[in-house]
Amino acid sequence: MMRKVSVCAGVAAAMVAFSAAAEESRSVGGQAASTEQTAEPTPAGEGQGAVAAPAMEQGPSAPPLVDAAVGGAVSTAPAAEPATVAQAKAEAPASAEAPEVHIPFSLTLVPGLSTAGLHTGNVVNTVSIGLVATHAKRVEGVAMAIGGNWVEDRLSGAQLSVGANISRGAVTGAQLTVGGNVAGGDVLGLQSSVGVNVVRGAMEGAQLTVGANAVTGPVNGAQLSVGANIATGAVLGAQIGVGANVAAGPVRGLQAAVGLNVAPEMSGLQMSSGVSYARHLKGGQLSIINVGGEVDGAQVGLVNIAGKVDGAQVGLVNVAGHTEGEAVGLLSFVGNGQAHLQVWSSDISLTNVGVKLGGRHIYTLLAAGFTPPLDGERRHWTLGAGIGGHIPLGRFYVDMDVMGSTLHERRLYDETEHILGQFRVLAGWQVARRFAVFGGISANTLVTWDDSDRWEELGIGPEWREVSDGGRTVFRMWPGIQAGIQL
């Protein structure tokens, strides 16, 4: 009992001593401040040997007995931190990103109301099933919903919905929906929809849709749609659509559309029942209308247009600024090809006028002939077309062609039962740049049917005759001659 009383008395005495020491420190501090205010400045040079000790702020220290009683808590306690530092430390955890939470299976009614909790921005799901929509930071498996699926970071697996699938990051797997699929990053896999597929990055795989496919980067695979396929980067693979295929970068592969194909550079094949365009083509174009800048290959269509061709143009109308190949068509307009007007006389018609158009070696000839009633011969007209080959030999040349013509008695466009076929071999001499003379021979065959007029007065020299169908069809063959000028 006496020991306890002694300890209590000692603690009380220590507390009194601690208070007295604190009061003494404040008194000494006040005297020091008043002394500094009343002290006169020291003249220069005096007291140079004295060095002022740095002022150090010291708090009152606990007496030894109190320190021992509380286990050293008073003397070892750190000084209080400033308010701004404490506030920054308090706010730091709040501003840091919440750690990811892996929830293998999640059922969602609407985003925010699910078995994963109210906040799903940091949730990683393996299987996520939603009635209206699902939401997660990442999906590493499958997400299914009637309305839509939303992934904040990336998708590794599949999204299946009726409404829309959205991934703000990359997609490795498949997005399948009736509405639309959107990927904010690269896609490695499949996008399939009825509405629209959008990739804001590179696409490696396939896009299938009824509406439209759009990729803002390169495509390595296939885009197939009923509407349109659009790629702002290069395409290595195929774009196949009913509407249009458009690529802003080089295409190596196939573009096939009912409507329109567009590519700045094409290495492969463009096919369309409408229009195909390529500024640089290395391959082929097979469309109703083909348009190209520099063509290294072939254009086959009703209308073919190109700036420079190293290959062939085959169509009804061919247009080229310069060609190192050939143009085959009814009308071929080639800058370094053939475009001539011919006037000649033959054993068939006294006067013939023709237009000769083509490339460097192949040409077409459109001609009309007329013979007035002379020396008892009847007046008659001929209207025909042909295709031939041109062999340049310096200032000389050789033409060989095949022509087919109709024979009319009264008017040029009357119905007729007479067809004239000719094989001609002609030699020409280029007298001047736009003037040449030519002449040659021909093998003529006249076919008459329905027991009509046989035109016995046509032809010179020997002839060969064949009668068939009970005399109703007659074949006559004989040699002929040609001579004229070319402008």
Q: Which of 217, 252, 286 is the last residue of a domain?
A: 217
Q: Which of 153, 187, 217 is the last residue of a domain?
A: 217
Cα–Cα distance measured from residue 338 to residue 312, given in angstroms and rounded to the nearest whole number? 15
Strands 380-393 and 362-371 turn out to be antiparallel
Question: What's CA 42's distance to the chain center, in Å?
Answer: 87
Does any domain span residue 193? yes
What pLDDT is stored for residue 414 in this prediction? 67
Is residue 213 domain-shared with residue 343, that is, in the same domain?
Answer: no
- At residue 290, the 3 state secondary structure works out as strand
Which token pair is 333? 């307009």
- 487 DSSP 8-state letter: -
Residue by residue, pLDDT tens for the chain (487 residues) are 444 444 344 444 444 444 444 444 444 444 433 444 433 444 433 333 333 334 444 444 444 433 433 344 444 444 444 554 455 454 444 445 678 888 888 888 887 787 877 777 788 989 999 888 898 889 999 999 999 999 998 899 999 999 999 999 999 999 999 999 999 999 999 999 999 999 999 999 999 999 999 999 999 999 999 999 999 999 999 999 999 999 999 999 999 999 999 999 999 999 999 999 999 999 999 999 999 999 999 999 999 999 999 999 999 999 999 999 899 999 999 999 999 999 999 988 889 999 999 988 999 999 999 888 877 667 888 899 999 999 999 899 999 999 999 888 776 666 677 889 999 999 999 999 889 999 999 999 988 876 666 677 777 777 777 777 666 788 888 999 999 999 9
Side-chain-facing half-sphere of 441: CA atoms under 13 Å = 5
Is residue 211 domain-shared with residue 342, that is, in the same domain?
Answer: no
What pLDDT is stored for residue 10 in this prediction? 46
What pLDDT is stored for residue 376 in this prediction? 65
Which token pair is 349? 């018609």
Q: Which of 200, 217, 234 is the last residue of a domain?
A: 217
Is residue 204 domain-shared with residue 343, that is, in the same domain?
Answer: no
Does any domain span residue 34? no
Give the domain CATH number at 431.
Answer: 2.40.160
Whether 478 and 455 have beta carbons less than 8 Å apart is answered as no
What pLDDT is stored for residue 142 in this prediction? 94
Side-chain-facing half-sphere of 379: CA atoms under 13 Å = 5
Does any domain span residue 127? yes
- 201 DSSP 8-state letter: S
Cα–Cα distance measured from residue 318 to residue 301, given in angstroms and rounded to the nearest whole number? 9
Is residue 349 domain-shared with residue 211, that is, in the same domain?
Answer: no
Does any domain span residue 236? no
Q: How many domains does the chain have?
A: 2
> Which residue range(s) make up the domain with 162?
98-217
Does any domain span residue 418? yes
What pLDDT is stored for residue 320 in this prediction? 95
Does any domain span residue 228? no
What pLDDT is stored for residue 56 in this prediction? 41
What pLDDT is stored for residue 176 in this prediction? 96
Does any domain span residue 68? no
What pLDDT is stored for residue 6 in this prediction? 44
Is residue 348 domain-shared with residue 481, that is, in the same domain?
Answer: yes
- At residue 61, the 3 state secondary structure works out as coil
Does any domain span residue 139? yes
What pLDDT is stored for residue 453 in this prediction? 63
Whether 389 and 398 have beta carbons less than 8 Å apart is answered as no
